[in-house]
């Protein structure tokens, strides 16, 4: 028996030992996405709806599809409503964005898995349109979240919660999210919370005090990453308490305008330059959040200008440098530069502590 035990001991010492590796989750975030657009112009040959009928589902995100398909999760800000008709349209609102529910196939064909609905167009057709949008997304296995409704995504033993508010909802719901974020982590076993805010001044190159206030309040409450949108143009980023904030990702595929949007008083400020962010999130073997690292992919929201073809395209060279310059001008520290070989700007790893 002793001989057997001795042999077993020797064999165990000879076997290689392996440390348990960290787990990673790769998520892609875009800015504003409008499918369809204003119903009154849907039949115009230049409209998003007409282009969709001609080109099909995979056309719009064809140039960035490799990013969406290679990740674990792609998250967009979906501005508008899925609804068959104009019933319930909000009166006296300048822009109403609507897509037929069949157009949800654009999202499923493009590997887009989650939609933020906390924005100023999700109720363009009142509560009935909002509920129809939720129904359409749910029936097509696309996650959604907004206001007091969160979405939890799971991979193995990792649980990530998504939450969002628009600017008119923030002050009435501060007490709620200050309690809800810790509750999700303590009671529902969520390992990470991602919060999106729809806030800011349209076409403003610099973020305003309100954007920073919202983002930092969410992080103080326990959020681990904050993504913002609404200005339609790209803005800066910041690391606060070892958590990343993006103040505006700009537009992505935007069916709201025939032409690239621009500032009402300064036509030189357009929505052409934008960014797609990929977040590589690290967890330990038990699923505990460890840190985050961001890749910034400069894009143009359209491959044509000034008329939009609704097809975002990754850019390099001077175009990429221009996007990075716009982000840098609104960022309080020096960003890692754009790498032409990689096709993105890799920012330093930010540990949880």
pLDDT of residue 311: 98
pLDDT of residue 8: 41
Q: What DSSP state is assigned to residue 40?
A: G
List the beta bridge partners of residue 23: 283
Between CA 78 and CA 68 the distance in angstroms is: 16
- The whole-angstrom distance between residue 265's C-alpha and the CA centroid of its chain comes to 28
Which DSSP string corresponds to 194-237? EEEEE-S-TT-SS--HHHHHHHHHHHHTT-SEEEEE-SSSB--E
Contacts (Cβ under 8 Å, ≥6 apart) of 313:
63, 64, 299, 300, 302, 303
Which DSSP string corresponds to 262-293? B-SS-TT-BS-EEEEEEEEEEE-TT--EEEEE
Between CA 100 and CA 79 the distance in angstroms is: 14
Q: Are strands 158-166 and 147-155 parallel, antiparallel or unpaired?
A: antiparallel
Contacts (Cβ under 8 Å, ≥6 apart) of 230:
32, 119, 120, 166, 167, 198, 199, 200, 202, 248
Omega cis (within 30) before 306: yes
Reduced to 3 states (helix: H, G, I; strand: E, B; else coil), residue 105 is helix
Apex CA 311: angle with CA 128 and CA 264, to 5°?
Answer: 75
pLDDT of residue 265: 87
Q: Read off the pTM.
A: 0.93
Closest CA to 282 of 297, 272, 270, 292: 292
Contacts (Cβ under 8 Å, ≥6 apart) of 185:
191, 193, 222
Tokens read off for 39: 């119903």
pLDDT of residue 20: 53
Count of alpha carbons within 13 angstroms of residue 54, beta-carbon side: 12
Class of residue 165 by CB neighbours under 10 A (exposed 0-12, middle 13-18, buried 19+): buried
| pLDDT tens track, the chain, 353 positions | 444 334 443 444 444 433 456 999 999 999 999 999 999 999 999 999 999 999 999 999 999 999 999 999 999 999 999 999 999 999 999 999 999 999 999 999 999 999 999 999 999 999 999 999 999 999 999 999 999 999 999 999 999 999 999 999 999 999 999 999 999 999 999 999 999 999 999 999 999 999 999 999 999 999 999 999 999 999 999 999 999 999 999 999 999 999 999 998 898 899 999 999 999 999 999 999 999 999 999 999 999 999 999 999 999 999 999 999 999 999 999 999 999 999 999 999 999 98
- Neighbouring C-beta atoms of residue 41, cutoff 10 Å: 14
Closest CA to 158 of 279, 68, 285: 285
């Amino acid at each position: 028996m002793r001989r057997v035990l001795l042999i077993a001991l020797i064999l165990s010492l000879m076997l290689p030992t392996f440390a348990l590796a960290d787990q990673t989750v790769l998520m892609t975030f875009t800015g504003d996405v409008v499918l369809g657009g204003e119903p009154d112009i849907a039949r115009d040959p230049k409209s998003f709806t007409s282009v969709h009928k001609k080109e099909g589902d995979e056309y719009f995100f064809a140039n960035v599809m490799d990013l969406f398909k290679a990740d674990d999760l792609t998250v967009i800000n979906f501005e508008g409503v899925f609804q068959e008709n104009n019933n319930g349209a909000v009166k006296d609102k300048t822009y109403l964005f609507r897509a037929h529910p069949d157009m949800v196939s654009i999202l499923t064909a493009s590997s887009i898995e989650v939609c933020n609905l906390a924005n100023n167009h999700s109720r363009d057709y009142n509560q009935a349109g909002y509920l129809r949008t939720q129904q359409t997304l749910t029936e097509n296995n696309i996650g959604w979240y907004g206001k007091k409704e969160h979405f939890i995504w799971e991979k193995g033993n990792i649980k990530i919660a998504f939450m969002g508010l628009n600017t008119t909802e923030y002050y009435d719901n501060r007490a709620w999210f200050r309690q809800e974020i810790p509750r999700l982590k303590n009671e529902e076993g969520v390992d990470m919370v991602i919060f999106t805010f729809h806030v800011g001044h349209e076409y403003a190159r610099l973020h305003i005090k309100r954007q920073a206030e919202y983002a930092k309040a969410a992080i103080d409450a326990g959020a681990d990453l904050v993504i913002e949108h609404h200005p339609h143009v790209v803005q800066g980023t910041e690391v606060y308490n070892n958590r990343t904030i993006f103040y505006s990702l700009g537009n992505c595929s935007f069916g709201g305008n025939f032409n690239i949007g621009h500032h009402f008083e300064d036509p030189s400020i357009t929505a052409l330059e934008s960014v797609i962010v990929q977040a590589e999130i690290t967890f330990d073997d038990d699923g505990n959040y460890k840190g985050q690292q961001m890749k910034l992919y400069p894009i143009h929201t359209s491959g044509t200008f000034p008329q939009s073809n609704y097809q975002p395209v990754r850019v390099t060279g001077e175009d990429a440098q221009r996007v990075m310059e716009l982000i840098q001008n609104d960022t309080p520290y020096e960003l890692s530069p754009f790498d032409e070989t990689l096709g993105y700007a890799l920012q330093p790893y930010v540990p949880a502590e």
